A and B are shown apart, each in its own frame.
Chain A
Amino acid sequence: MEDHIIQVENIRKSFTPPISYRNILKLNFRERPSVAALKDVSFCVPAGSLLGILGPNGAGKTTILKTIATLILPDKGRVTVNSKFLVGRDDEKIKSLIGLACGQERSFYWRLTGLQNLKFFAALYGLTKRQADSRLDYLLRLFDIDYADKRFDSYSSGMKQKLALVRALLHDPRVLLLDEPTKSLDITTAANLRDFIKKLVAEHGKTIIYTTHSTHEAQYLGGTFLIMDKGEIKADGRMEDLRKKINNPTATLEDIFLQLCRKK
């Protein structure tokens, strides 16, 4: 039996928008239709595999990542990590196994240097000073970061993105959750990162779940795919499974994506 490190079972998530001024003026406090972000989403991720989640804006990609990372609790269903840890119950243990790199820039202390930021988060991940120093030395060299001693607010978007990836890898997690990891990166850095992601899976046995808008990037990375639209899984599996789904044995990932998600 395949060892599933992540199991997502029938999760549902709806978000209720904040009450509008128009409704307050009308004294209408009830009428707030919720928006379904995830509708009965289920999938499994084997240990040491690569899963790409694709979908248009608002498909629910980031919500899935944040749910696995314990930052969002599902309304229904359950997420199990490492076969025994449940999101909402064993969050501390799950967070030790997971590294999350979100696309947003506002997740660091802008008035501190990159290194000061990373050392702070290394301590929160439970690394000793010596462990943090050696890990940072390795990761900063790996990502070719020579600007870590400069203040975070002086970085470009790409530099910030690289630092977010380093932070996600600080505690050498078994699972990496990457939200649009190559967004804002220049062509060379993005290509290097893609190769690095493949290497992390192939040589280091990491499990990586990433979201992307680029079908070309996803096809290059390979592994399995989850195509989502409006909170639902439209298709999942390897390229051959997806091709079968649309009855086109030569289709590219972009063809499949457009066929499944393009508005008629």
Chain B
Amino acid sequence: MPEKIIAFIKKDFLNEASYKLPFLLNFIAVFANILIYFFIDLLFGKKITPHLEAFGVHYFAYVLLGTAFFSYAGVGLGSFASRIQREQVEGTLESILSTPTKISTILSAIGLWNLIAATFDLIIYILLAIFVFKIDFSHVNPVSTLIILLLTITSFSGLGILSASFIIVLKRGNPIGWLVGATEGLLGGVYFPITVFPAWLQFLAGCLPITYAIQAIQLSVYKGYGVAALAKEITFLLLFSVILIPLGMTTFACALKKTKLQGTLGQY
């Protein structure tokens, strides 16, 4: 199994490396994204900062980490579906599924590559934050930050596999990805803390994994909170992972069976 996963990662790297421009464009996109929040902070930052007392940072530092982390988690969510769709469009999905490779291996390999690519993006965010925007990361707790990163990726991968199940059957249109992407960005406290919401919206936000992930990452990075202090958030993220990964895997297996029954595996 490790050989197969390595083969996938190598293939994906070679495929991505054959396109030269996206790397540069990605860097520019990240920079432009950060600049938007930099200017929003100049305009409204002072008004929002009082809501961020718990995190001990000003608005720009909060939103920069939130956005970077959300895009990291979003990779887990969106890229399973987009990768499956790409294999369908390129016609290689049937070829892969003709080999004696377990579905769990294929999904793990896709997940690992996503993680590598997302980590690369995250590094760009952090480097820009430190060297261009002079954000202070000196309080970071590396252990709790790493645990939160991993748990966020696993819980979002569960959702991502779930949404890939729709893609494999429907070919286009990804209701889970759309719903989760839209609501989590708004309600998860990515762009502003959820304390600005009315009580009922705060309750809804509490049902989403991103809310716990964002809160935990802000506290572990800016306040240096350890595992014990973040026990509630870590428990919720663990719970989401334990539920969503098997649910995603089972749904994907059912979707694959349905596609084979429809005879549409090679279609896109």
Which secondary structure characterizes the binding site on chain B? helix
Closest chain B residue to A97, Cβ basis: B100
A73-B90 contact given A95-B98, A95-B100, A123-B4, CB 8 Å threshold: no
Q: Which of A72, A92, A110, A123 is B260 in contact with, Cβ under 8 Å?
A: A72
How many of A's residues come within 8 Å of B, CB to CB? 38
Q: Is the CB of A121 within 8 A of B99?
A: yes
Q: Is B138's beta carbon under 8 Å from chain A?
A: no
In chain B, positions 222-268 with a C-beta closer than 8 Å to chain A are 257, 260-263, 265-266
Q: Mark B3-16, 1 if CB is under 8 A from A, else 0.
A: 11011101100110
Cα distance A102–B19 when bound, in Å?
A: 28
Q: Is A63's beta carbon under 8 Å from chain B?
A: yes
Q: A1: shortest Cβ distance to chain B, in Å?
A: 29
A71-B260 contact given A107-B95, A110-B90, A124-B99, CB 8 Å threshold: yes
Q: B54: shortest Cβ distance to chain A, in Å?
A: 48
Cα distance A93–B99 when bound, in Å?
A: 10
Q: Is A69's beta carbon under 8 Å from chain B?
A: yes
A95-B95 contact given A72-B263, A109-B15, A124-B7, CB 8 Å threshold: no
Question: How many interface contacts (CB-CB < 8 Å) are there between A and B?
Answer: 86
A123-B3 contact given A71-B98, A116-B11, CB 8 Å threshold: yes
Q: Is the CB of A123 within 8 A of B7?
A: yes
In chain B, positions 165-191 with a C-beta closer than 8 Å to chain A are none
Q: Chain B residues near A108 (CB, 8 Å)?
A: 92, 95
Chain A positions within 8 Å of B, measured between CB atoms, are 13, 15-16, 37, 63, 66, 69-73, 75, 92-93, 95-96, 98, 100, 102, 104-112, 116, 119-121, 123-126, 128, 167
Closest 10 pairs (CB-CB, A-B): A106-B91, A123-B7, A124-B99, A111-B18, A95-B100, A73-B260, A107-B95, A96-B100, A120-B11, A72-B263
